[in-house]
Amino acid sequence: MNCKTAVILAAGAGTRMKSEKPKVLHEICGKPMVSHVTSQAAAAGSENIIIVVGHGADKVQSQLADQGLSFALQTEQLGTGHAVMMAKDQIPDEGDVFVLCGDTPLITAETLKKFAAYHTEKKNAVTVLTAVFENPFGYGRIIRGADDQILKIVEQKDASEEEKAVKEVNAGMYCMNAVFLKSNITKLSSDNAQNEYYITDLIAMAVESGNGAGAYIVEDSDEIMGVNNRVQLSQASDVMRKRIAEKHMVNGVTIIDPSRVYIEDDVVIGNDTEIWPGAVLKGKTVIGKGCMIGADCQIENSTVGDGTDILKSVIKDSSIGENTHVGPFAYLRPGSEIGSGCKIGDFVEVKKARMGDGSKASHLAYIGDADIGEDVNIGCGVIFANYDGVHKFRSTAGDRAFIGSNSNLVAPVNIGADAYVAAGTTVTVDVPEGALCVGRSREVIEEGWVEKKGLSKKKR
Ligand code: UD1
Ligand code: CA
């Protein structure tokens, strides 16, 4: 395989998307469409990837910055052939080149490798990737001669009725000999229904000049699905989600209903983990082995240790250790680091807080800007009051500290190891190790008060 260079066309306006955003930046499973193409090209062996940008060039270039990609600018979108012309000077003078589209995000490295191998084996100047579609509308048609050899590609808008009946379509992906490409690309004409320079005309040129053109039919036609509008965007997303879910299932993850989970491409999940319907797993999330991700959890850029279970909770930019229970209805905001064997129960919100192994906040608490040791108990209704309206402060609770229900810890305060805070206390000073802090007034009991006041509702 020697397609060391890949040119990816991504300058088109994408009018049919009806969007302010350039088409190729629309996302499929959390990644811009064009990034799926660049990563598959790279995985297929392309080291030099040139993106042709034009419509929304700044946005595309800045979103794809720092990924080792090169860019060629097509200021006017005069067609796919014209787009390749813009990259001509960056294409090496030898070897083979992939020409791919930024709007066909389902192509895989495996197919690209087989495609390139076929191209090399047949010694073609140009090989086009094709598929057979029941409904070929909108795609360029592959026109073959009597001997089944490819003759040319005809665009939908230029096709005769007979040509429109052809079901074999152009995927918009090509493997080309660099010498042939560079010496013929500038010879394209725009004499067609759209007055555009079509890359597809290179096929007929190769046939006519006797340089050899071929077609490689893709095994799974889903891979070449082009995205031109939002209906197709959702159809491509469906395929990608299914593919990702299947990868995890093959790796030993149980997914109760694969049609009802959203898992982005880079998410890692250990075996024997169960994923229930409605789970949304995004970004660089890593989930360990034997976990239970319950219904309707949203987990983003977070790490979850082995054996942890999470029910109906939202977790962002955080880490959770092993065998910890989270939820239902917990909210871990960015910067939360929860240890192993912990419990973050219902209606507990945590923000930028560390919690050591074995610590528990079982219900209804706000833990913001805190450093909590091991085996600490945080009672129901505890609030780490971290904000004075202007500044935020941190508080600490040492190992085995017990923070009674409905306490307020007015930051910054430090609760020593083994210390107790009595239920209902508002703590504004540090509590030494092993001490008890009670901050509430004594109850007053008046015997017989109800009778005395004549308030008794007892039946006489
Ligand atoms: C193109 C093919 C068609 C094929 C289909 C597969 C041509 C003439 N037609 O049609 O045979 O079946 O793809 O999906 O090539 N682009 C540029 N600059 C331009 C025009 C387009 O960079 O001036 C880029 C677009 O951003 C897009 C890709 O090229 O990523 C394809 O362009 P698009 O307009 O979508 O072509 P199709 O009509 O789909
Ligand atoms: Ca297209």
What's the whole-model pTM score?
A: 0.90
Q: Among 151, 154, 150, 156, which Cα is nearest to 136's?
A: 156
Q: Ligand 1: which atom is nearest the Cα of residue 34?
A: 30
Q: What is the pLDDT of residue 1?
A: 56
Quote the tokens at residue 46.
């392309």
Number of Cβ atoms within 10 Å of the Cβ of 447: 7
Which atom of ligand 1 is nearest the CA belonging to 101? 30
Q: Is the CB of 80 under 6 A from ligand 1?
A: yes
CA of 104 to the centre of ligand 1 (A): 10
Host H or E run for residue 121:
helix 109-122
Q: Please, which contacts does 400-403 make with residues 24 or more away whose CB atoms are closer than 8 Å? A: 400/373, 400/374, 400/375, 400/376, 401/372, 401/373, 401/376, 401/377, 402/376, 402/377, 403/376, 403/377, 403/378, 403/379
**Bridge pairing between strands 331-332 and 314-316:** parallel
84 lines ligand 1 (CB under 6 A): no
Enzyme catalytic residues:
363
Torsion 111-117-121-127 (CA) sign = positive
Distance between Cα 50 and ligand 2 center (Å): 18
Nearest CA to ligand 1 atom 14: 226
> pLDDT tens digits for the chain (460 residues)?
579 999 999 999 889 999 999 999 999 999 999 999 999 999 999 999 999 999 999 999 999 999 999 999 999 999 999 999 999 999 999 999 999 999 999 999 999 999 999 999 999 999 999 999 999 999 999 999 989 999 999 999 999 999 999 999 999 999 999 999 999 999 999 999 999 999 999 999 999 998 899 999 999 999 999 999 999 999 999 999 999 999 999 999 999 999 999 999 999 999 999 999 999 999 999 999 999 999 999 999 999 999 999 999 999 999 999 999 999 999 999 999 999 999 999 999 999 999 999 999 999 999 999 999 999 999 999 999 999 999 999 999 999 999 999 999 999 999 999 999 999 999 999 999 999 999 999 999 999 999 999 999 988 7
Atom of ligand 1 nearest to the CA of 52: 22
State whether the beta carbon of 72 lies less than 6 angstroms from ligand 1.
no
Instruction: Return the C-alpha torsion angle 436, 440, 390, 332, nearest 10.
Output: 60
Closest-CA residue, ligand 1 atom 10, reads 139
Asked whether 258 lines ligand 1 (CB < 6 A), one says: no
Q: How far is the CA of 307 from the centre of ligand 1 (A)?
A: 48
Ligand 1 pocket check for 9: Cβ under 6 Å? yes
Tell me if 30 sits within 8 A of 284, measured CB to CB: no
Helix (H) or strand (E) holding 286: strand 286-287
How many whole angstroms from 172 Cα to the centroid of ligand 1? 7
Q: What share of residues in the chain are helix, strand, coil (percent, to 5)? A: 25, 30, 45
Q: Count H helices, E strands: the chain? A: 9, 39
Q: What kind of fold does domain 5-224 have according to CATH?
A: Spore Coat Polysaccharide Biosynthesis Protein SpsA; Chain A (3.90.550)
Model pLDDT, residue 13: 84
- Quick check: helix, strand or coil at residue 283? coil
Nearest CA to ligand 1 atom 35: 228
End-to-end C-alpha distance for the chain, whole angstroms: 99
At position 397, the amino acid (one-letter code) is A
Question: Which ligand 1 atom is nearest residue 77's CA?
Answer: 23
Q: What ligand has the least distance to the C-alpha of 171?
A: 1
Testing ligand 1's pocket by substitution, the residue of 101, 191, 217, 221 carrying the most ligand atoms inside 8 A of its CB is 101
The amino acid at residue 52 is: V
Atom of ligand 1 nearest to the CA of 170: 12
- Quick check: CB of 153 below 6 Å from ligand 1? yes
**Residue 14 to residue 205: CA distance in whole angstroms:** 28
From the CA of 452, how far away is ligand 2's center (Å)? 87
398 C-alpha to ligand 2 centroid (Å): 60
Tell me if 326 CB under 6 Å of ligand 1. Answer: no
**Which ligand 1 atom sits nearest the alpha carbon of residue 139?**
12
Residue 389 φ then ψ, to 5°: 100, -20
Q: What residues pair up with 48 in beta bridges, in sequence order? A: 5
Question: Length of the chain in residues, anyone?
Answer: 460
Ligand nearest the Cα of residue 133 is 1
d(CA 226, CA 420): 64
Q: What tokens were used for 342?
A: 């912990």
How close is the Cα of 81 to the center of ligand 1, in Å?
9
Cβ of residue 130 lying under 6 Å from some atom of ligand 1: no
Q: Compute CA 421 distance to the chain's CA centroid, rounded to the nearest angstrom.
A: 44
Is the CATH number 3.40.309.10 carried by domain 240-437? no
For residue 407, give the 3-state DSSP assignment: coil
Residue intervals in the chain for CATH 3.90.550.10: 5-224
> Locate tokens 């009018």: which residue?
15
3-state secondary structure of 362: strand
- DSSP class of residue 323? T
Quick one: which ligand is closest to 80's CA? 1
Domain boundaries for CATH 2.160.10.10 within the chain: 240-437
Ligand 1 atom nearest to 199, measured from its CA: 15
* Structure token pair of residue 61: 């270039």
Best probe residue, ligand 1, of 73, 78, 80 (max atoms within 8 Å of C-beta): 80
Query: From atom 20 of ligand 1, which residue's Cα is the shortest distance away?
Result: 79
Sequence-separated contacts (24+) of 114-123 with Cβ below 8 Å: 114/216, 115/173, 115/175, 115/216, 115/218, 116/1, 116/2, 116/3, 116/44, 116/45, 116/175, 117/1, 118/214, 118/216, 119/175, 119/214, 119/216, 120/1, 120/2, 120/96, 122/212, 122/214, 123/212
CB burial of residue 195 (10 Å; 0-12, 13-18, 19+): exposed
Specify the residue with its C-alpha closest to ligand 1, atom 31: 101
Q: Which ligand is nearest to the CA of 139?
A: 1
For 39, the 3-state DSSP assignment is helix
